[in-house]
Amino acid sequence: MTVAVMRTKAEQAYTDQFESVAARLPGGPAVVEARKAAILAFGGLGLPHRRIEEFKYTDLRAAFKDVPPPAVNDETAVTAADLDAALGPLAAVEADRVVFVNGRYRPELSQVETAKGIDVKPLGTALIEAPHKVAERLTNIHGASDALAQLNTAYMTDGAIVRVADGVAAARPLLLVFAGAGLSQRSVTTRNVVSIGAGASVTICEAFVRLAGAADGQSNTLTDIAVGDRAVVTHVKTHTAGHDTHLATWIIGLGAGSDYRGFQFTESPKLARNQMFVLYQGSGAKLDLSGAFLARGTEHIDTTLVVDHAEPGCESRELFKGVLDGAARGVFQGKIVVRQKAQKTDGKQMAQALMLSENAEFDSKPELEIYADDVVCGHGSTSAQLDPDLVFYCRARGIPEAEARALLTESFIGEAIDRVEDTPLREALMETARRWLRTAG
């Protein structure tokens, strides 16, 4: 007996739109085959829904009523001033800048003066000029059952390929800017492939912004980062792109003795799903994965991560803090897996939400899955409103109530932002948070 699989309008649109744009997507034969396999896999999976445990609190099948048409070879006019205005405080950070507008590399807006041993090029060019070199990395995604990654493989138009040679220390950060522009809603799909050599040191920031007056849309981004032995990496992602839908995946492989410090800042999307998958590939590696999220109205922000301790003697720290106002919803799902061989693992995880409204909601599901017996692991989660005693304490010292509440909220979210060690980058993030907090009601 054959059972027909019912597709939603959005699921059918993803398949139909692929057929219409496939010939215009970059890539040689190997990439074309990878795209076809990915959209076929998505057809079998469909959009994730609440019956899938990892999407229990973020039902994309129910949320997506339709899908904006994909942006392919978009040439919307954008000036450097437009871009700086959209970046806000991040525009002042001294960094090499690689810019993509509606999913396409824009060299006239980019400024790259990287040192010897650091190679940055657009993925779209590599897909055409050297498809066999990148095809294997593109298809080596986290799990065949990840529908978002399959969609990314099928539709990706561009992104950055970053290679840092062994022992190279980057003098300043690399800022990858992904800007939405134009009056028409678009679905933009980008991918970054990053390789950090042994003993290298680098700071990379992904910034997702939307230009003034641009229509809200949908973005699907994936960053695949391989961190070499003893490398030190700071990796930041910011989303300040307005009331759009943002689907983001990080896949992180950590070499022996490496030190990876990741941070995600998400501000007021319509819906955001930030998922991170970390695999320890060598002993003695350290991970600090943290983030801050801000939402109001009916906005929805989901942070889901899996930290897989597959090697012994490794350390992980996770701290995520959110501020929720109105009827906003925050979701945190953090899973730490400690395999049998991963003795001497040290893992700590904490998620906290500050509720500025009685109608806000925070769903937290921390998990520990431990198969080793010589470990130190723990997790925690809290949600609360501002402490009225602290507000009274501030007011008793002459601080107006509104200002007191703003200062306490800033202090709460600042604890997470302080995890970013790059001073200019940290100050830019804090100022971005302050701007949002000033308008919180």
> Among 27-36, 170-179, 183-192, whose mean pLDDT is lowest?
27-36
Q: Residue 189: its pLDDT value, please? A: 97
Q: Residue 143: its pLDDT value, please? A: 59
How much of the chain is in helix, strand and coil states, percent to nearest 5?
30, 40, 35
125: enclosing H helix or E strand: helix 123-129
Q: Residue 246: its pLDDT value, please? A: 98
Distance separating alpha carbons of residues 411 and 254, to the nearest angstrom:
32
The tens digit of pLDDT for each residue in 330-365 reads 999 999 999 999 999 999 999 999 999 999 999 999
Locate the domains of the chain by residue range.
9-385
- Asked if the model's pLDDT at residue 132 lies above 90, the reply is no
What's the number of CA atoms in the CB half-sphere (13 Å) around residue 399?
15
Cβ atoms of 59 and 5 within 8 Å: the answer is no
Q: Name the phi and psi angles at 261, rounded to 5.
A: -125, 105
The pTM assigned to this predicted structure is 0.95
Q: Residue 432: its pLDDT value, please? A: 95
- Asked if the model's pLDDT at residue 3 lies above 50, the reply is no
Tell me the residue type at 274. Answer: N
Q: In the predicted model, what is the mean pLDDT of residues 3-14?
A: 82
The three-state secondary structure class of 172 is coil
- Asked if the model's pLDDT at residue 1 lies above 90, the reply is no
Q: Name the phi and psi angles at 219, rounded to 5.
A: -125, 140
Q: How far apart are the first and last CA of the chain?
A: 57
Q: Residue 5: its pLDDT value, please? A: 59
- Name the token pair of 4: 């027909």
Q: What does pLDDT average to over the chain?
A: 93
- Asked if the model's pLDDT at residue 228 lies above 80, the reply is yes
Q: Is the dihedral of CA 237, 242, 243, 245 positive or negative?
A: negative
Q: Residue 116: its pLDDT value, please? A: 84
Distance separating alpha carbons of residues 392 and 378, to the nearest angstrom:
34
- Asked if the model's pLDDT at residue 145 lies above 80, the reply is no
- Asked if the model's pLDDT at residue 398 lies above 60, the reply is yes
Q: Residue 406: its pLDDT value, please? A: 82
Q: Residue 222: its pLDDT value, please? A: 96
The contacts of residue 186 (CB under 8 Å, 6+ apart) are: 68, 69, 70, 71, 74, 102, 103, 180, 215, 217, 218
Distance separating alpha carbons of residues 380 and 81, to the nearest angstrom:
44
The tens digit of pLDDT for each residue in 59-68 reads 999 999 999 9
- Name the token pair of 292: 């801050």
Per-residue H/E/C for 290-322: EEEEEECCCCEEEEEEEEEECCCCCEEEEEEEE
pLDDT band at 440; cut points 50, 70, 90? low
Distance separating alpha carbons of residues 252 and 249, to the nearest angstrom:
10
